Amino acid sequence: MTDGSTTEDQILDVREEIPRRRHELIEQTYHDLAPGTGFVLVNDHDPKPLRYQFEAEWPGQFTWDYLESGPEVWRVRIGRPEKQA
């Protein structure tokens, strides 16, 4: 794929979830990732506050790549980097 995601990436579309459940689902999906894998978050707004939360809780332990930036849909690939030797 040319957009930064891979054919193996799980898609997590939270647009239909109630707001208080969204972060829980996203965090659980991130924690379930194996090193070197990722998922594509689909949201109805820019998840910038979520990125700040990730930076505070897991600095240097994730990747964050915008694949689509609105105005109706945001798609972000969130990954767990390979462990460093």
Residue with more model confidence, 66 or 7: 66
* Percent over 90 (pLDDT), the chain: 84
pLDDT digits (tens, 9 = 90+) for 62-78: 999 999 999 999 999 99
Is the pLDDT score of 8 beyond 50? yes
The pTM for the full model equals 0.86
Q: Is 26 helix (H, G, I), strand (E, B) or coil?
A: helix
Confidence band, pLDDT 50/70/90 cuts, at residue 2 = very low
What domains, with CATH codes, occur in the chain?
A: 10-80 (3.30.110.40)
As a 3-state breakdown, the chain gives helix, strand, coil percent values, each rounded to 5, of: 25, 30, 45
